[in-house]
Amino acid sequence: MRKTAGDIGHNGTVTSTSLNYAARAQKINRPNPVAVGTIVWLGSEVMFFAGLFAIYFTLRSVAPDLWASETSLLNIPFSTTNTIILVASSFTCQFGVFAAERMQPRSVGPKPSQWGMVEWFFLTYALGAIFVAGQIFEYATLVSEGVSISSNAYGSAFYLTTGFHGLHVTGGLIAFLLVIGRAYAVKTFGHKEATSAIVVSYYWHFVDVVWIGLFFVIYVLK
């Protein structure tokens, strides 16, 4: 019998080289394209908010007296409480991701440790909605005190930076509803649904981090 080079081992015995190679071949774990796309998109959002920060710092540098008088109207305790609420929502969002990763869309008991993705995301939605409502209340209060987007440079900078962030938070709230609705719509909660929950969490953590920066610049440094 004729033996080919691919069939003869080092000891002269016949081997199934191609089969052994296939058995030993390692699987290539490619990153999820949805997650990669979300991260790339968030990179562009970083540049967008960096531009807003640049606008705020530039205007503040040329009008320090205006900033000193207008920032005195800010309700620091209220905004601090609102910030804590938003930061807390990031933790509840991550608990929802943990539930999605273990393929548990809904609760299996009344305790929070038994909650599924849906329950944690509903709580995250409620906290985010409270934050947006608090921001609207703050806007109404400042407008009543004469600080509007067209009143002066400070008003323009304040409402542009915080307003665009508020729109991003609202977009995140809509995304949570879509993920929750999808969990109810599918018969079997699978990897696609879990991936949707994960990428929404990326976005939500991003808007939380941006707000921490805004809070520090606008309310702490003033």
Please calculate the CA angle 46-47-50 and round it to the nearest 5 degrees.
85
Instruction: Name the phi and psi angles at 8, rounded to 5.
Output: -105, 125
| pTM for this predicted structure | 0.83
- Tens of pLDDT, residue by residue over 100-150, are 999 999 888 888 888 999 999 999 999 999 999 999 999 999 999 999 998
Pure H helices in 13-116: 17-24, 33-62, 64-70, 76-101
> SS3 for 14?
strand
CA distance 197 to 213: 25
Domains annotated on the chain, with CATH:
33-220 (1.20.120.80)
The pLDDT value given to residue 187: 87
Per-residue confidence (pLDDT) for residue 120, from 0 to 100: 96
- What's the distance, CA 145 to chain centroid? 33
The pLDDT score that the predictor gives to residue 30 is: 62
The Cα–Cα gap between 76 and 82 comes to 10
Q: Which residue positions in the chain have pLDDT lower than 70?
A: 1-31, 222
